[in-house]
Structure formats: C-alpha cells, structure tokens
Structure 1
C-alpha cells in the first residue's frame, strides 16, 4: 500500500536539531525501503481548471499561507496503521502542525 503524506507549511524556521532528527528519520525509512520519494513544494504553483471544454491556467498562490502544502513523502507500507505511525513519528520530530495521509491507488 502506498500513502502520500503532505504537510502544511509552517511559520517555524527549522534549526540544526530538526535537520539532524529529520535526516536520521529519512535515512531510516530509505534504508528500510519504505520511503519512495520526499520533497518540499513551492508555495505558488499553477492551477488548471476545465469547464465546458475550456481550460484556464491560473498562477498561485491559492490558499492562505497557513493552508499551503509545504512538503510531501510517498511511502510504501503494509497497512494504514503503519502509515499513521510514520506520520506520528514525523509530527513528533517537526512539532506543531498538520499532516494529511492519503492512500495512493493504481500501479
């Protein structure tokens, strides 16, 4: 089962301790084969909207800063519970904030 975990952007600037803890966590998940991809996301982006055969392209940002997705991790695990546990570990490292887990369907 694959899960996409997204995290909302934070106003808190990361420090050396956070970078070190996150580095260890990412190394562990990579070594175990659980982590498929991770990265940060630009705050803006482009929105494509289709309606009545017309496609409109709009430059971002689209949400208030506190609602913007700041990063993601794609993991492959055996169960939803395992994905939730990885999410809990991530939140324990980075502190206050919001993450969303969604199962990824398809090949």
Structure 2
C-alpha cells in the first residue's frame, strides 16, 4: 500500500532555530530518507516552493486564487511517498519522522492506486 506523508511546519519555529540546530535537523531528515530509500520503501520525496494556488469552482466558473486555501500558522512544506506492507508500518515511519520533534506535524494519506474502485490494488 502507498501512503502520502504531508509534512507541516510552522515558520516561526523553523525561522527561530539557529544554524547549527537547523543543520542537525536537515542531517536527521537526510538520514531518515536514506534509510527508507535503502529499505525500498521511499518512492519519492520533495520540498515544496511556497507558492500554492487554489483552484475551485464558484458559481459555474473556475476561480484560481493564491493558496493555500485556508489561513493557518502551519504550512505544507514537503512530502514523501512510501510503499509499505500496511498501515502499521506507515504509522511507524510517520512517528519516526525527525521534524515532528521540532514542532512540525505530518498527515498520512493512503493513496488509491489504479484498482482502488474495483477493490484491487
């Protein structure tokens, strides 16, 4: 099963870290990613450029606005996709993400896959 992990951060917390703390966290995340690559579970990982757009239907028209859609102190700063045997392993990976210990958060979303609607994956 594939899972999308959305990594949330808080600008005040991230900008409040000193250069050594930030470098240490980046090293931890790099190690985390490398371990998942070595196990074959990490499929993709990317940071996001803070320039989201919201595309919605409003009154029959498609409206594009600067995003994210809602106001929040936290923002989605990156993501990664893993393929694992089940939800327990995905949760284990999510709990071990280094950024969580530094005031970040993570949302875990199961991905449908091509055969999802028919029950096959």
What do the CA deviations read for 1:5-58 (whole angstroms, capped 9, x no partner)?
112123324622112221111111111111111111223311111245321111
Higher deviation after alignment, 32-41 or 75-84: 32-41
Runs of 4+ in 1 over 3 A off after TM superposition: 61-65
Structure 1 equivalent of residue 117 of structure 2 = none
Structure 2 equivalent of residue 2 of structure 1 = 2
* Separation of aligned partners in 2, 1:64 and 1:36: 30
Name the Cα RMSD after superposition. 1.8
CA displacement at 1:67 relative to structure 2: 2.9
Structure 2 equivalent of residue 60 of structure 1 = 67
* Separation of aligned partners in 1, 2:86 and 2:111: 12
Long gaps (5+) in structure 2: 115-121
Q: What's the TM-score, normalizing by structure 2?
A: 0.76
- Check conservation: 1:2, 1:103, Cα contact below 8 A: yes
Long gaps (5+) in structure 1: none
Q: What's the TM-score, normalizing by structure 1?
A: 0.85
SS of match in other structure, 1:15: helix
- Check conservation: 2:54, 2:68, Cα contact below 8 A: no
When the two structures are aligned, how many residues end up with a matched partner?
A: 105
For the pair shown, the structure with the greater C-alpha radius of gyration is 2
